[in-house]
Homo-oligomer: A and B are copies of this chain.
Amino acid sequence: MTTSLANFALVLFRPISPGNIGSAARALKNMGLHDLRIVAPQVPFDARATAMAVHGRDVLQSAVVYPDLLSALYDRTLVVGTTARTGLYRREARAVRDAAPELVRAAAANRIAIVFGPEDCGLTNQELKLCQRLLTIPTAPQYPSLNLAQAVMILSYELMLAAGASRDIAPASELALMPEVEAMLSRIADALSAIGFVPEDNPDHIMRAGKKLR
């Protein structure tokens, strides 16, 4: 894990569904985060949370439960709320993709909390008072309310990509040296001439057709 990702805590405020808590733990693990905090869960989380965490079980097991939001933020220097709604105190909400690079830079010198509200109503203005910044996830206008664990996944995914911490996808492969390629083509041309497949006087007519960089 890069240092900057280690400085992010994802905080679930009064979550209702144990399945979502487990799925959130899995999402953190998928994206290289590990600090999950749970504030006053409305239902004790159980076997269903563990089942949904799958190999993110270690993140779930090390998650600390706090009685209120302020105590979950005791060691944080920057608190970021999430919202799907707009309104008087929510006008400054920024799209997560735009804000992620800045948050990752801030995380080099800060310990950051990203706070998610309960499934049914999200964060209220009461909790937003503790938040210095506000993020939102772009959606289609018809249905802006995301499942809690899905919102946690998108946040985690954006932070990981902004931190440049993902595994390499399809790493570039080193191509052959030019003299090696030419030597191979020349041997093939000799063989194809010997069996009469290419014309001896102009093997390139066939040999160079369709040659391209792979």
CB pair B166 A27 closer than 8 Å: no
CB pair B140 A170 closer than 8 Å: no
Of A144, A145, A154, A167, most buried by chain B (CB within 10 Å of CB) is A167
Of A56, A140, A150, most buried by chain B (CB within 10 Å of CB) is A140
Interface residues of A in 122-160 (CB under 8 A from B): 136-147, 149-150, 153-154, 157, 160
CB pair A141 B167 closer than 8 Å: yes
CB pair B30 A140 closer than 8 Å: yes
CB pair A143 B55 closer than 8 Å: yes
Interface residues of A in 160-192 (CB under 8 A from B): 160-161, 165-167, 169-170, 173
List residues of chain B with CB within 8 A of the CB of A52: 147
Select which of B32, B141, B170 is within 8 A of A142 by beta carbon: B32
Select which of B92, B143, B145, B160 is within 8 A of A140 by beta carbon: B160
List residues of chain B with CB within 8 A of the CB of A146: 27, 30, 153
Residues of A within 8 A of B (CB): 1, 19, 23, 26-27, 29-32, 52, 54-56, 86, 91-95, 97, 136-147, 149-150, 153-154, 157, 160-161, 165-167, 169-170, 173
